Structures are given as C-alpha cells and as structure tokens.
Amino acid sequence: DAKTTQPTSMDCAEGRAANLPCNHSTISGNEYVYWYRQIHSQGPQYIIHGLKNNETNEMASLIITEDRKSSTLILPHATLRDTAVYYCIVRAFNDYKLSFGAGTTVTVRA
C-alpha cells in the first residue's frame, strides 16, 4: 500500500542542485512528509520533514506544494558524498514506526 511515488534513479553533477520529486497524492491532513537517505553500508539518516510550509536546514530544503500532493527535496550543492538512496515517506506526527519503499537512487558524478 504505497503512499509515495519516487523515480527509481537520477544522476546529478557535483556542485549542482539536486531536485528529488515525490508524489503523495493520498496524504492525510495529519501526515507529515519526511525524507531520509541511506548511504551504502550505513543506516538511514534523517534529512528533513515538513507539514505544509517549506522547510530548510543545514542539509536540504523541502518544498511542499500547496495541495500537499507532492514535494521536492533540494540538495543545494550536491557532493559525491550525497550519493545514496533517498526515501520520501509520509507519517503521522505520533506514528512510532518508519516504513521505506524503494526510494530514489541518486548518483552524484564528478
């Protein structure tokens, strides 16, 4: 019962912005959009989350459409170390568990 849809893979040039789309057309009013990433041989790493306003932190920016049916994670200046699988998920604020699908495999090329 997939709640989000992401492209399977994408390439990005080092130093350029990487824009990762995610569709979540069935998102509920109390569900947040979360982004995690998993670098090879490591555990998942939290990136950012948001409800309806755009969010920015030291790692990335999250742009959520006004109807909340889709969002975009922006890595402003991609580096080789950003090569990873990126997961977009929706979950209620008090939901105790995470569940990832296949995610988007992002490859940053020099």
Partner 1 sequence: KAGVTQTPRYLIKTRGQQVTLSCSPISGHRSVSWYQQTPGQGLQFLFEYFSETQRNKGNFPGRFSGRQFSNSRSEMNVSTLELGDSALYLCASSLRLAINEQFFGPGTRLTVL
Residue 82's closest CA among 105, 98, 64? Answer: 105
Q: At closest approach, how far in Å is the CB of 63 from partner 1?
A: 19
Q: Is 17 among the residues that bind partner 1 (CB under 8 A)?
A: no
Residue 90's closest CA among 76, 102, 105, 100? Answer: 100
Can you name the residues that pair with 31 across neighbouring β-strands?
A: 92
Q: Is 93 among the residues that bind partner 1 (CB under 8 A)?
A: yes
Q: Is 100 among the residues that bind partner 1 (CB under 8 A)?
A: yes
Q: Report how many residues bind partner 1 under the rule CB under 8 A.
A: 20
Nearer CB in complex with partner 1: 19/99 = 99
Q: Is 30 among the residues that bind partner 1 (CB under 8 A)?
A: no
| Cα–Cα separations (whole angstroms), residue 61 to 25, 40, 64, 89, 102 | 20, 22, 10, 16, 21
Q: Where do contacts with partner 1 occur on this chain (CB under 8 A)? A: 32, 34, 41-46, 49, 87, 93-102
